[in-house]
Structure 1
């Protein structure tokens, strides 16, 4: 019998990077809440916006995410030690005192820090995702009591492959040679060669995450290392409460744009698998992976493809349906138009809908704002939305197959109690319920809209519906007066189409009556 997960973490000192990020926050909260005898969490945080590391940590743990932990363990903040650090600087800008302390005390490292911007310039992406990982590994090699090094990667690190195993593949280029080259190249040259370097990968994010994995395997050869590869990380499933989300990144921003009625069309395949994964599922698997490697000390680098597509598939067409239906029942405040999104993979049709459903209404609305003495903003919003859509097109138009044998093995090793506390079995995930909680999470936690405002939001949505019906009626009358009423041929075609529709409806009604 292996020790339980909470027993393994008892008395341990954890080093966490990326704690102020989405996944890092959830990991910190879950560790402290479910492993209450954990000794200390050292959090590497840089100074930012005039706030030092301690101030940023205090601000972070004051958010709603930590409310449950605050109720259960009021003194939890005493276990968190903020360490001033900047992963982009030499030696991570650690003081000698802090470095010595980490070398002597750290038992487990969770490396979550990374840039998640898909369009990051290559130099910055390499610095944040590759060099920072390399520097942390150099520090880990000096640590006297290190049990496990956990590196959080992405399931799309090798998205140029359709079938992805739980192994570290050969890198697209030698990371060390690339790092050396970037030192003497100027920015214009780096930007010029970036498309050739990344090749058939869609962006610098997936490219540098693949390089980082190779660095982890290379520099972590003498360490006990595991790599977690989540797919598209979304709102929480259950913990600390359903639907928690705190950012516009990834699909969350598109869901909000759809709910506001701004996003009307998107290039995507209805049948492509939307490999969404709840953030708490990823975190539970990450904590369990560190436990398994710490207890069993496997010979090889353990890789875990933390995905849903092969086990509990959900498609983009289904995502669109649940998002729209949720926001029609529970609308966002001050929606621009009624929620409705058309997914298409046809290039010409996509650009037609962009012109008709996005650009034309935005242009007209900006004219209205100018006339009423306000600053035009909708075209700028549409431009930002289109940029975000372009970054996600690759992932909404393709599907992948991920091997998840290691994840299944890890699940089988958990005790019944640990399976309840650290659940990452996505077979239990009910997508309709999850998507509703996700959408409501964007309303409550990202937009900070109160549920008490729902009646007014529904009234506003009904008003938009009436405006739309009125506009369509006026448009039909204008078309009739301008084009049809003046031409006998057009009238004949019109009457023919109307009669066909009438016959079809009559037949449908008669068939329904006979069945009844």
Structure 2
């Protein structure tokens, strides 16, 4: 494989992008517009009721972001007219047929002109309602693929998934496609239609019993976790993303399909500037909790691999993928990861966090500096459970006995603390698999793509080799400051 002319390959292309108000899609949009202003049009599907609302969301949630400041400076007074010419907000919603695009003229325009479909839209919440996760991550993928198949000039379909669809397997995890119905546990068969029917039956049962909205929400969340673990996945998010991969793989026909599986996406390494991030990624909750002094401890094998990859590298790899596989029949899987090329352990998060916040303490609500100590880290789950027993369960049990003695005088306080404790235990159960993850993601296919770009000058424009990253420098000088600046509030 030899790959060159990536910038030129984007000239006069029309690209449909879902999930366009999200973190990764914005980085992708900004990079395409910056390196190839001669791209024909970027159609950004925006969840909105009409064109006016879609345009407002595009303006407020995409164009006005600091991420686009380089483009803003390059085009000066012409920036707004450039964006109006190159970017079009399309009102719709992936959970509906034809992506919820009601304007038939717009649908036909897209079917006639779109060359590439970049499907990024997803719910990434580990503990989301099962019905919502199925709608967005599974049916959304189905509807996007079916819409793409109607595009007469389509050259490639890129589906963004996650490397963690592999579940909790150990060892080297290969870039291997799922077959329809494949489960991670035993010889079970995963029937997606049956899962959709199950959700509808369960909702009818709940509603016929006059269940409150809150109780229904909780029941749907618990059903997602239950079904995920039944088939071998740790949570609803990765379970439904795996089903989404199966769906697009089954429906693609002869269409060139690329499935990108990034690991934990972190702030930008270089472009358009270092440290830009939006929202809290998985590990960023740890950074924010530590900065605010609300994280009492951490549990992880600090010598296990924390597979992270900067957002700009993911966007660059996505561009390389669509150029490499345009008009080439087949299904191509890529892990966008660091655990093989340049592994980094959880210990670096601990070390860089302590160094950074010791030198740059945050200000608490009382206006005083938050003085932090080194975070206690439990390297074994058994010791962590003992800590929880002494710190939380035992005081809770004492409060229960006090309530018995004093005729439930502190019942409200007990119920509140009990709910918090149960939820804490649930979250720990949800995230523990990633704190002790024993797998590493093979990226042989992506390495071939890197080698194909190496001989060309564009290698410096579309860099996606994590081997170049100094992780200590990245976390201390780029990522942690970026989280504090853009995501902490």
TM-score (norm 2): 0.81
- Within 5 Å, which residues of 2 pair with 1:29-428? 29-47=30-48, 52-60=53-61, 61-73=63-75, 74-75=79-80, 76-78=82-84, 79-95=86-102, 96-162=104-170, 163-170=172-179, 171-172=182-183, 173-186=190-203, 191-192=222-223, 195-199=226-230, 200-294=232-326, 297-334=327-364, 336-354=370-388, 389-414=428-453, 415-428=455-468
Partners of 1:230 and 1:305 within 8 A in 2? yes
SS in 2 for 1:38: coil
- The change in CA–CA distance for 1:35 and 1:386 in structure 2 (over 3 A counts) is farther
2 CA distance for matches of 1:359 and 1:56? 45
Partners of 1:263 and 1:358 within 8 A in 2? no
Aligned residues: 431
1 CA distance for matches of 2:394 and 2:456? 57
Partners of 1:265 and 1:353 within 8 A in 2? no
Residues 439-448 or 278-287, more deviating: 439-448
Consecutive unaligned residues of structure 2, counting only runs of 5 or more, are 184-189, 207-218, 396-415
2 CA distance for matches of 1:48 and 1:382? 40
Residues 310-319 or 180-189, more deviating: 180-189
SS in 2 for 1:97: helix
- CA distances 1:383-412 after superposition (whole Å, capped 9, x unpaired): 987765553221111121222111001111
- CA distances 1:32-61 after superposition (whole Å, capped 9, x unpaired): 111221111000001289981100100121
2 CA distance for matches of 1:254 and 1:193? 25
Partners of 2:265 and 2:281 within 8 A in 1? no
SS in 2 for 1:263: coil
Partners of 2:17 and 2:117 within 8 A in 1? yes
Q: Identify which of 411, 425, 440 aligns with 2:481.
A: 440
SS in 1 for 2:163: coil
Partners of 1:262 and 1:337 within 8 A in 2? no
Residues 261-270 or 283-292, more deviating: 261-270
Offset at residue 133 of structure 1 (A): 0.6
Consecutive unaligned residues of structure 1, counting only runs of 5 or more, are 362-376, 449-516
**Bigger relative contact order (CA 8 A; separation at least 6):** 2
Offset at residue 333 of structure 1 (A): 2.2
- The change in CA–CA distance for 1:222 and 1:124 in structure 2 (over 3 A counts) is same
2 CA distance for matches of 1:91 and 1:49? 15
Alignment RMSD:
2.9
